Structures are given as C-alpha cells and as structure tokens.
C-alpha cells in the first residue's frame, strides 16, 4: 500500500519541487496539494493522508494553526512543518502545535525524505538546531520544550487567531465574514475581543502582533529596507 | 527555439520546481544551477546561458548585485536576466529593471508566468508581472 502525502504550500513552484522529490520514492504518492491552510484542513479531512507537509507561511490560515486544527480534528495526523526560519519561537510554536517533523525549506531537498521516513516509522524528525533546543530545554528546565508557551498566544482562541491572520493580511471584516462563513457582526465581535484581550488599539498594532507571533511573516527586500512590505511566504 | 537556462535560487526545492516546469518545454535546457549570486557569476562565465533565472534574496550576493555584475561582464553576449522573486513590489521591480533585468515574475505566480516570461526575455522582449497583471512588450 502506498504512503499518501498531502502537500500544503502557497507557492505552486515549491509544490512542484516537493512533488518531484517525494514521488521519486517508490511506494510514495502525493495524494493532494493545497495552496493555503484552510484548503489543507479540508483536503486532509477528505483524503486522510498518512503524512501532511505544511508550510508555516501560508495565506488565510498559517501552517501552525493548520497543524493545530488538523490535530484537533484527528490527533493521529502526522505533520511535518516546513519553515524558512528555525528561530527559537518558531520551533517552540511548531512543537507546541503538535508537529512531529520540522524541516527548513532551504534544506528540504536534503531532509524531507528522511523526515517522512521518520514519521512513517512513528519517530520524529527535527533539524540539529531543534534537537539542541529540545535537549537544552529538557536539561535546564527538567521538562520538554514543547510545554513552553510563548507569552502572547494562549489568550486567543483558534477562531480568534484565524480572524487575526485575515485582518492582518488586510482583509475587511466583511471579507473575513465571507471567508469564514460567519456574519459580519460576529467577525466584528471577534475583532473587538481580540483587540481587548491583546490591549491593541489599531489594525497597525494588530499587524505588528501578527508578525511578532508568526501569524503572518514578512520579508524585507535587500535594497529597500525602509519599505515596509508584508508578504505571506 | 532552443534556450539554455541557468537557475539561481538558494532553495534547492525551488530550483527543482523551476526545473520541472522549464524542462517540459521542448528545446529548452536547464544547463546549470547556482545557489547564490557569486556562484551565479562563475556559472554564467563557464556555461554561457541564454537566460539567467534569478532570485532576489540570496546569501553572499543578492540577485540585484549579481544582475548588475552580469550586465558589466556580458559585453556582446545576448544573455538576458529574468527575476523570479517573492517580492511582489513595484519598487523592487524597478530596481531589478534598473539593474539590467529584462523580466520580472513573482514567485507565487511563477507556475503561471514563467514559461511566457522566459520566452519573451529569450527574444529580448521585456516581461513583467506583479500579482495578476502580466505584461509583455
């Protein structure tokens, strides 16, 4: 029986590269491709893949919240997070969300096959830096690093985090309502609750919060460092 | 028309995705890959490609600087540079064209725009595409 893999990345060119890499393995098939987190959740529920590979920086629903929603639906999902950064905070959040594999995008050509093999064998796969951090957390604090929570995050519900991402991506309350199949009034209520819980006063504050907490990611171009450009990667 | 292409991006998985797309086109050949601007300059000298598909943000030397140096080196060669980047920004596109690039495609739309862009720049025509508005001339 084939190992079925679902890919979620907003860049088709990356998905093509990942497909090409994974389908070279005999007995593996990419059973579906999603271009954002919401699509990934829906496809995973339908396709029930053996392994889900999710990019962290996706529009509508980022990879961390995608991981949380998938595991809430079915704790047996095996999920590998793909990321452009292995900062401490991203590692902590990925582990806390329940990912059992963590691969840097820059190293995916080298590490991804090994990561899928590890999860297939009911093991975990982490980059050396993640392993170091987990070990340091265990030795210094006497418990696994996955218990460590970033200070800002637990105050928001899953739905509020979804709304936060969509608002931070520049969508209006009406657009968010359509995307989440809610009334505009409900979205406005979520928005007020988010602002109150986080003590924020403007959408600008919300965008800063979303960036700081990896709900959306930004990339600064090399020559235009003064230009603030928000890009979901 | 035969086109020899050099791929430059620091992510091997992106290069692989670009390669699968480009090699589907009869007559087009990916003659080499580089993972940063410095390696790209070396490979341009050795491989003499027709088109360099170049990322902007890379370690050691970014794509803009590599493009400027390619323009200084290329002399009478017919080589053209096409940027494929995550920066969906008019300012960055202007910088790229000022650096001497003939084309600019946003990575999220690469699967849609790349073939048309390579075809255009290989014939020394400009191709630029931000978000949903590809434009060739």
Taking phi over 0 as left and psi of -120 to 50 as alpha, with beta for the rest, A30 belongs to: beta
Name the minimum distance, in Å, from the CA of A22 to any CA of chain B: 11
| Residue A227 falls inside a structural domain | no
Interval B72-101 mean pLDDT: 88
**Domain identity same for A91 and A40:** yes
For chain A, give the percent of residues with pLDDT over 90.
Answer: 56
Determine the pLDDT at residue B124. Answer: 92
**Contact of A56 with A64, CB cutoff 8 Å:** yes
Question: What confidence category does residue A152 fall into, taking pLDDT thresholds of 50, 70 and 90?
Answer: very low
Question: What confidence category does residue B119 fall into, taking pLDDT thresholds of 50, 70 and 90?
Answer: very high
Question: What confidence category does residue A167 fall into, taking pLDDT thresholds of 50, 70 and 90?
Answer: very high
- B20 to chain A, any CB pair closer than 8 A? The answer is yes
**Domain identity same for A69 and A10:** yes
Task: Please report, for the domain that includes residue B32, its CATH number.
Answer: 3.40.50.2300
Domain that holds residue A195: 153-212
Domain final residue pick, A147, A182, A201: A147
Determine the pLDDT at residue A218. Answer: 75
| Residue A141 falls inside a structural domain | yes
Is the pLDDT confidence value at A39 over 50? yes
Place of tokens 């009034």: A185
Distance in Å from the first CA to the final CA of chain A: 34
Task: Please report, for the domain that includes residue A116, its CATH number.
Answer: 3.40.50.2300
- Say which range, A30-34, A98-102, A103-107, A163-167, has the weakest mean pLDDT: A103-107
Chain B residues lying within 8 Å of A231, measured CB to CB: 86-88
Question: What confidence category does residue B108 fall into, taking pLDDT thresholds of 50, 70 and 90?
Answer: confident
Question: What confidence category does residue B132 fall into, taking pLDDT thresholds of 50, 70 and 90?
Answer: low
Domain final residue pick, A93, A127, A147: A147
Is the pLDDT confidence value at A6 over 80? yes
Asked if A223 and B111 come within 8 Å (Cβ–Cβ), the reply is: no
**Domain identity same for A85 and A124:** yes
pLDDT tens by residue, A115-148: 999 999 999 998 877 777 777 776 666 554 444 4
How many folded domains does chain B comprise?
1
**Domain identity same for A131 and A163:** no
**Domain identity same for A170 and A108:** no
Place of tokens 């199949």: A181
Asked if A14 and B88 come within 8 Å (Cβ–Cβ), the reply is: no
Determine the pLDDT at residue A140. Answer: 67
Asked if B111 and A12 come within 8 Å (Cβ–Cβ), the reply is: yes
Count of residues for chain A?
233
**Domain identity same for A12 and A105:** yes
Question: What confidence category does residue B105 fall into, taking pLDDT thresholds of 50, 70 and 90?
Answer: very high
Determine the pLDDT at residue A158. Answer: 86
Helix, strand or coil, per DSSP, at residue A82 = strand
Determine the pLDDT at residue A223. Answer: 52
| Residue A143 falls inside a structural domain | yes
Name the minimum distance, in Å, from the CA of B107 to any CA of chain A: 7
pTM for this model (two decimals): 0.80
Per-residue DSSP letter, A2: P
Asked if B57 and A222 come within 8 Å (Cβ–Cβ), the reply is: yes
Paired strand residues for A78: none
**ipTM score for this prediction:** 0.82
**Domain identity same for A96 and A195:** no
**Domain identity same for A71 and A142:** yes
Determine the pLDDT at residue A230. Answer: 42
Paired strand residues for B115: none
Is the pLDDT confidence value at B77 over 50? yes
- B82 to chain A, any CB pair closer than 8 A? The answer is no
- Say which range, A27-36, A65-74, A143-152, B110-119, has the weakest mean pLDDT: A143-152
Domain that holds residue B20: 3-136
**Domain identity same for A143 and A30:** yes
How many folded domains does chain A comprise?
2
Question: What confidence category does residue B75 fall into, taking pLDDT thresholds of 50, 70 and 90?
Answer: low
């Amino acid at each position: 029986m084939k190992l079925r893999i679902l890919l979620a990345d907003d860049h088709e060119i990356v998905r093509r590269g990942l497909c090409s890499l994974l389908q070279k393995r005999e007995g593996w098939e990419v059973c579906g491709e999603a271009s954002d987190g919401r699509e990934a959740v829906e496809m995973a529920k339908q396709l029930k893949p053996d392994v889900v590979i999710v990019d962290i920086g996706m529009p509508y629903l980022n990879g961390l919240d995608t991981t949380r929603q998938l595991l809430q639906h079915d704790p047996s999902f095996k999920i590998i997070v793909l990321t452009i950064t292995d900062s401490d905070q991203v590692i902590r959040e990925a582990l806390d969300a329940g990912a059992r594999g963590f691969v840097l995008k820059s190293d995916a050509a080298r590490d991804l096959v090994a990561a899928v093999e590890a999860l297939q064998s009911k093991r975990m796969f982490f980059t050396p830096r993640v392993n170091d951090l987990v070990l340091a957390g265990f030795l210094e604090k006497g418990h696994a690093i996955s218990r460590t929570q970033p200070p800002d995050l637990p105050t928001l519900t899953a739905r509020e985090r979804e709304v936060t991402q969509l608002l931070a991506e520049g969508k209006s309350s009406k657009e968010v309502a359509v995307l989440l199949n809610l009334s505009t009034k409900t979205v406005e209520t979520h928005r007020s609750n988010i602002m109150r819980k986080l003590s924020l006063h403007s959408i600008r504050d919300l965008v800063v919060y979303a960036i700081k907490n990896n709900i959306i990611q930004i990339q600064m171009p090399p020559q235009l460092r003064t230009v603030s450009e928000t890009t979901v990667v | 028309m035969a086109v020899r292409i050099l791929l430059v991006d620091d992510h091997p998985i992106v290069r692989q995705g670009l390669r699968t797309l480009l090699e589907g086109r009869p007559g087009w050949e990916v003659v080499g890959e580089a993972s940063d601007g410095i390696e790209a300059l070396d490979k341009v000298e050795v491989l003499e490609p027709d088109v360099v598909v170049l990322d902007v943000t890379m370690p050691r030397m970014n794509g803009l600087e590599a493009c400027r140096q390619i323009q200084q080196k290329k002399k009478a060669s017919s080589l053209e540079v096409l940027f494929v980047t995550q920066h969906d920004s008019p300012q960055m596109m202007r910088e790229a064209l000022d650096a001497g690039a003939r084309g600019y495609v946003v990575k999220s739309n690469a699967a849609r725009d790349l073939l048309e862009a390579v075809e255009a720049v290989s014939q020394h025509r400009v191709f630029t595409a931000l978000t949903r508005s590809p434009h060739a001339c």
